[in-house]
Copies of this chain bind each other. A is one copy, B any other.
Amino acid sequence: MGTKQFSDSLDQADVTRADSLAREIFSDIANKWALLIIEALGERTLRFSELRGEVDGISHKMLTQNLRMLERNGLIERTVHATVPPRVEYTLTEPGQALRVTIDGMCDWTHRYLGDIEASRHRFEARKP
């Protein structure tokens, strides 16, 4: 990760530890499903089954797995209502919201450059058949 904003007031060991932690977190978060889940949650509170409907293409397993990971990293909050049948709701925490904003940026980017990308792909295929 390029940004070296730690060098002040931290000794070298802490710097490298922080950086490896940063890489680890980045690897956790920077995957398709995690980002789509965060984006799907947005400002809303959704239950497990609703999320499954929103994300589309995600399997039961991948959803739980990523939800656990996001919860562990404190990006989402998980509240269980002890009713029957059980009702589990997920919502973005403040850190989660903050990240969502940047993901929104990625989505906007995708739509903004959709045409250019499609064109580029055609040029690419046409170049070497």
A residues with a Cβ closer than 8 A to B are 1-3, 5-6, 18, 21-22, 25-27, 29-32, 35-36, 39-40, 42, 71-74, 95, 98-99, 101-103, 105-114, 116-121, 123-124
A110: which of B25, B35, B109, B119 is its contact (CB, 8 Å)?
B25
Interface of A is mostly: helix
Q: Choose one: B18, B74, B111, B124; the contact of A116 (CB below 8 Å).
A: B74
Instruction: Report whether B22 and A114 are in contact in the complex, using a CB–CB cutoff of 8 Å.
Output: yes
**Are B31 and A31 in touch, CB under 8 angstroms?**
yes
CB distance from A40 to the nearest CB of B (A): 7
Query: What residues on B are CB-neighbors of A74 within 8 Å?
Result: 113, 116-117, 119-121, 123-124
